[in-house]
């Protein structure tokens, strides 16, 4: 009789669960401080602080680059492990088929790319230069083409490679580990944006209907923000019963905070 596998939070097939745990802990102890820092950066950038502008541009670039870089570095190892474990991707049926539609991810990345184009463009040619059609139009098309290519690299992750990569690094264990690091960092950047909501003053709910309406709105936003950086692991664990629970728990500190009302001058 085969021995049952001992549970390990750090096993490769539990990377999604580990990510949910990390996000839950970060949302309790770290994210409010980081989000306050980000909000202050926006204020400084609005006052033409070059250092603040640079940090915000680099953060947006990281949100755009990290998922594609992680997908490239982890793809070979991911599909090789699934094949060895006789597992299949869970991205084609039911809810998964809708969530993994690349249109959703593409539209979100267009928003990120727009921020990058606007930020870099204003730094290079100034606001008046960006108002010039000869500069603005090519930059938009360049951003669009770059986002299409980035989305291609990301969604290629979900298709098994036909042959091993030619790069020795992409075949090494370090490649997979660095890919996971990219996914985790990308998630934390998205969570900084998500936690900005806790800095907005929300009064306490006045009744059941307002509570339900706020809960629906927050749940929709949580899915919109949490799914893109989480989907690389959802491709494997979306059908596990615990997955949706741990994803909700990861976002629960923010949801709970806004449901009961927020005060920007106080912490958790």
Cα 99 to Cα 93: distance, rounded to the nearest angstrom: 10
Residue 129 lies in a domain: yes
Per-residue pLDDT, 238:
87
Per-residue pLDDT, 1:
44
Task: Please state, in angstroms and as integers, the Cα–Cα distance from residue 168 to each residue in 49, 84, 156, 171, 176, following that order.
Answer: 42, 21, 19, 5, 12
Residue 69 lies in a domain: yes
**pLDDT by 10s per residue, the chain, length 268:** 445 567 889 899 999 999 999 999 999 999 989 999 999 999 999 898 999 999 999 999 999 999 999 999 999 999 999 999 888 887 765 556 677 888 888 888 888 888 888 778 777 666 666 666 677 778 888 889 999 999 999 999 999 999 999 999 999 999 999 999 999 999 999 999 899 888 888 777 777 888 888 888 888 888 888 999 999 999 999 888 899 999 999 999 998 888 876 665 555 5
Segments forming the whole domain that contains residue 21: 12-260
Cα 150 to Cα 147: distance, rounded to the nearest angstrom: 5
Residue 245 lies in a domain: yes
Per-residue pLDDT, 104:
80
Residue 1 lies in a domain: no
Spatial contact of 194 and 222, defined as CB atoms under 8 Å apart: yes
Phi-psi region of 48 (alpha: psi -120 to 50; beta: other; left: phi over 0): left
Task: Please state, in angstroms and as integers, the Cα–Cα distance from residue 78 to each residue in 69, 159, 226, 245, following that order.
Answer: 14, 10, 21, 24
Cα 196 to Cα 165: distance, rounded to the nearest angstrom: 40
Residue 267 lies in a domain: no
- Residues 41-77 pLDDT 10s: 999 998 989 999 999 999 999 999 999 999 999 999 9
Cα 246 to Cα 65: distance, rounded to the nearest angstrom: 26
Residue 199 lies in a domain: yes
State both tokens at 164. 């091993």
Which of 141, 170, 169 is CA-nearest to residue 157? Answer: 170
Per-residue pLDDT, 267:
53
Per-residue pLDDT, 239:
85
Residue 266 lies in a domain: no
- Residues 92-126 pLDDT 10s: 655 566 778 888 888 888 888 888 887 787 776 66
Per-residue pLDDT, 2:
45
Cα 233 to Cα 16: distance, rounded to the nearest angstrom: 5
Count of H-run helices and E-run strands, the chain: 10, 0
Structural domain total, the chain: 1
Residue 107 lies in a domain: yes
């Amino acid at each position: 009789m085969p021995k049952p596998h001992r549970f390990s939070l750090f096993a490769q097939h539990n990377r999604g669960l580990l990510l949910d745990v990390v996000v839950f802990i970060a949302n309790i102890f770290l994210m409010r401080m980081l989000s306050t820092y980000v909000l202050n950066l926006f204020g400084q950038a609005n006052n033409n602080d070059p250092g603040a502008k640079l940090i915000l541009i680099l953060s947006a670039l990281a949100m755009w680059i990290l998922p594609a870089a992680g997908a490239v570095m982890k793809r070979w190892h991911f599909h090789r492990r699934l094949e060895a474990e006789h597992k299949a991707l869970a991205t084609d049926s039911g809810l998964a088929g809708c969530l993994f539609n690349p249109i959703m991810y593409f539209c979100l990345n267009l928003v990120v790319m727009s921020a990058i184009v606007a930020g870099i463009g204003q730094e290079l040619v100034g606001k008046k230069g960006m108002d010039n059609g000869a500069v603005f139009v090519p930059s938009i098309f360049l951003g669009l083409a770059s986002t299409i290519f980035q989305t291609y690299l990301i969604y290629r992750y979900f298709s098994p490679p036909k042959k091993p990569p030619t790069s020795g690094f992409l075949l090494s264990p370090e490649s997979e580990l660095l890919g996971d690091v990219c996914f985790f960092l990308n998630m934390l950047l998205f969570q900084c944006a998500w936690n900005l909501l806790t800095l907005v003053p929300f009064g306490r709910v006045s009744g059941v209907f307002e509570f339900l309406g706020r809960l629906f709105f927050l749940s929709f936003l949580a899915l919109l923000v949490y799914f893109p950086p989480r989907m690389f692991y959802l491709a494997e664990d979306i059908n596990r019963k615990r997955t949706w629970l741990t994803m909700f728990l990861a976002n629960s500190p923010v949801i709970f905070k806004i449901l009961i009302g927020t005060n920007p001058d106080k912490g958790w």
